[in-house]
Amino acid sequence: MSERYGSVKASEDRNVKLGIDSYCFHRFFGEIDDGQSVPAQPMSVDDFLAYASELGVQGVSLESCFLPSMEEAWFRNLKAKLDDYGFERVYAWGHPSGLEDGSNREAFDDMMSQIRNAALIGASVMRVTPGPGPTNWRETDRKPRMAILAGWYSEAVQVAQSLGVKLAAENHGDYTSDEMLWLVEAVGSPCFGVTFDTGNFLRVMDEPVRAMKNLAPHTLATHLKDVAPRDGASPADGYYLASTVLGEGRVDVPAVVRMLKDAHYDGLLAVEIDYLHPRYGADEHAAVRRSIQYLRSVVAGMS
């Protein structure tokens, strides 16, 4: 095993599928947020898959914005690689702007066109993001836009279902669990649910355990993300709640995992880091490795 990636023992419970989302390494794929450094060496999709394999996880979530091609042959080649690794896979569409709260029909058309890509790589679930919505989400009447989104997703589900893909809408730091539940029920299809992001719910002041009570039966994919305030930052600052190693922030990760297990969730438990908390320096590899180790210990304690 590479010293850079470290060795993690594979999970003994094959019914539990641990994974990582490629957004953990957004700096290495060329997306640098304010205050972040440019890494010395970029990461390719192949590098990411090799890293996931060395961690011993069972699956990956691949952000479409970091893929170097939209050609069919490239996706077929990617599927072969994923099959060789034995990875379960999620195709993640929508970063950074998603459907812009139901205001961007061109984005909807792009989402529709990429359902085919999810099918080509053998993904049974495609993450789709309705937002980001307005920054003053607490004061805005969202119902008209939510109705548009429900109509768009109802249209998209017909295509997804024909290709054997389920769509999983993610709160991208702008929707409460009550809003997400309304959206799921409005679409009313077994092929439409949610990507449950623990950290993003906390960012809209929706306690993740409460949110999971709303959404556990409708969860098709996950981003297990822990967060904590940055020292000296204001709640009005971007990424005031920055990503920590799982178990070292404010999210009750064991409670969320237990609720997923009780709901018979059978998808990936996928670690995601967005803006890594400064307490960890700039070492996403170590933060992800430690998060997987922690998550594995949580799962082992429930068996």
In a domain? residue 116: yes
pLDDT > 70 fraction of the chain, expressed in percent and rounded: 93
Please report the beta strands in the chain, taking only residues with DSSP state E, as ranges in sequence order.
Answer: 17-21, 59-63, 88-92, 125-128, 166-170, 192-197, 219-223, 226-229, 241-244, 268-271
Residue 288 forms part of a structural domain: yes
Q: How far apart are CA 15 and CA 269, in angstroms?
A: 11
Number of independent structural domains in the chain: 1
pLDDT score, position 303: 76
Domain at 179, CATH number: 3.20.20.150
Closest CA to 23 of 79, 92, 113: 92
pTM to 2 decimal places: 0.94
End-to-end alpha-carbon separation of the chain, Å? 28
Q: pLDDT category, 83, cuts 50, 70, 90? A: very high
CA dihedral sign, ordered 54, 55, 60, 65: negative
Residue 163 — pLDDT band, cuts 50, 70, 90? very high
> pLDDT tens across 169-206, in order?
999 888 899 999 999 999 999 999 999 999 999 999 99
- What is the rounded average pLDDT of the residues 100-107? 94
pLDDT of residue 273: 98
Whether residue 25 is contained in a domain is answered as yes
Structural domain span for residue 53: 17-300
Helix (H, G, I), strand (E, B) or coil at 242: strand
pLDDT at 48 over 60: yes
In angstroms, what CA-CA distances link 1 with 48, 51, 54, 134?
15, 10, 7, 45
